[in-house]
Amino acid sequence: MAHTLHFAASMLACWLIAQVLARSTWTWRSPRVAILCWQAVGLGAGLSAVGLPMSLGLAPYQRGTGSALLALADDLWHSTLPAGLGAVHLGLVGVGFGIGAVLLTTTVRSIHGAVRAQRRHRDLLTLVARRDPTVPGALVLDHPGAAAYCLPGVRPRVVVSAGALDLLSRAELEAVLTHERAHAQERHDLVLLPFTALCRALPWLGWVRKAHDRVSLLVEMRADDKARELHADAPLAGALQRFATAGNRITPAGALGMGDRDLAVRMQRLMVNERPPRLLGAVALAVTTTAAALPISLFLS
């Protein structure tokens, strides 16, 4: 029963931490640390959701969840079950496995869908996009709308539209290209993937959707920070301003776009150049890592 309480406490802790992270603004000053915190919360919540019904079903074994699972497998193999272990307990273990299967299946489906959309768009780019010596390392799409996006993957592509080239100054364009290359280099598509899968598996949970939205914003802020390392804040802020006022912005499925998310918040952040809260970030990372480590330790016990 102690393990059940620990799994329940871990799930509650993950929910509470998610509420705090969703309302915190220090995460805007340290997006990389905040992303790690959200990843730890997501891992802890997923494992706790699997482990809670399992631990209830395995309670008659009066031992750790991991060793109880091994004991159950051995008992089922020999067709002998301990006293007190009935159909309800086996059903609860099945519920835990079912939750795990749903999470795994939605993750695989999300990966498959993203890869398929990226492959389809990559094939399309080979037909309609062109190289331009004024934009080295990027493909130019002859479209009047404002577009700048990264198509991630093993062979990432950075794409800008003709409309964006007309819209941006040279300094702003360089900042935008660095932003998009950061998405490709740090594989931000893989950062978002587990949260996309959680949204598909648990669409009725508001905090899961909020976590996805927050991580999506933090990914853009992280790419902004990478651009700020090589360029001044003014060109990047100017590019965001131009995208915010431009109509007909386009970003295809499976891509990460420059002008997709919370442009006003990102511009405000660039105007206030505050130092990252190192102590607060370290405390938050320690707390979220503990929340993720607890269910892992329960499964290994």
pLDDT value at position 33?
94
pLDDT value at position 251?
73
Q: What are phi and psi of 79, to 5 degrees?
A: 60, 40
Q: First CA to last CA across the chain, in angstroms?
A: 14
Structure tokens at 126: 């080979």
Note whether 52 and 10 are within 8 A (CB): no
pLDDT value at position 163?
87
pLDDT value at position 40?
94
Q: What are phi and psi of 187, to 5 degrees?
A: 50, 55
pLDDT value at position 269?
84
Q: C-alpha angle with apex 217: 212 to 221, nearest 5 degrees?
A: 145
Structure tokens at 136: 């080295």
Beta strands at 256-257 and 139-141: parallel, antiparallel or unpaired: unpaired
Contacts of 197-202 with C-beta under 8 Å, sequence gap 24+, read 197/103, 197/106, 197/107, 197/109, 197/110, 198/42, 198/45, 198/46, 198/103, 198/106, 200/106, 200/109, 200/110, 201/102, 201/103, 201/106
* Exposed/middle/buried for residue 66 (C-beta within 10 Å: 0-12, 13-18, 19+): middle
CA gap 240, 212 in Å, rounded? 22
pLDDT in tens, the chain (301 residues): 677 888 899 889 999 999 999 988 899 889 999 999 999 999 998 899 898 998 888 888 888 888 888 888 887 787 777 777 788 888 998 999 999 999 899 989 888 888 888 888 888 888 888 898 888 888 998 888 888 888 888 888 899 988 889 888 999 999 999 999 999 888 998 898 888 888 887 777 788 888 888 999 999 999 999 998 888 888 888 888 888 777 666 677 777 777 666 778 888 888 877 777 888 989 999 999 999 999 998 888 7
pTM of this prediction? 0.86
Structure tokens at 157: 């592509």
Question: Would you tell me how many other CB atoms lie within 10 Å of the CB of residue 233?
Answer: 17
